[in-house]
Amino acid sequence: MAVIQFIKGIDETVVPDVRLTRSRDGSTGTATFRFTNPTILNVGMEQKGEITGMYLVDEEGELITRDVNAKFINGKPEAIESVYIIKDPENWDRFMRFMERYANENSLSFTKAAD
């Protein structure tokens, strides 16, 4: 089990585009998640609770970021972008274990950026 939630207990069904950056020494990095038309923005979802962060949940526990922003086009929310900061090598390894589980469950693939 590996899911992403914006409201605790409600799994986001839209699979995001995820972009990773890593410092030269490999100890820190960022993961930017972009959800286009996520279900959390559907009409009526506001009654289920407030978006308090992005929660990456799996059998090891959860990783949390509060850096969550909605993108609006013509006054309507179209996307959510969230940034998870990876602070140290242990956190990097933990994040990658989550992403491997999430990728396997959602048929994601990794594409290395051109140098």
For the sheet containing 2-7, what is the strand order?
10-11, 2-7, 54-58, 61-65
Where do the domains of the chain lie? 2-106
SS3 44: coil
Backbone phi, then psi, for 94, in 5-degree steps?
A: -65, -45
Say which CATH superfamily domain 2-106 falls into.
Answer: Photosystem II Psb28 (2.40.30.220)
Number of H helices and E strands in the chain, helices first, is 1, 8
Give the span between the Cα atoms of 102 and 58, in whole angstroms.
Answer: 9
Q: What is the pLDDT of residues 65-79, one digit of tens each?
A: 999 999 998 988 899
Q: What is the pLDDT of residues 47-99, one digit of tens each?
A: 898 899 999 999 999 999 999 999 998 988 899 999 999 999 999 999 999 99
Element (H, E) at 106: helix 89-106
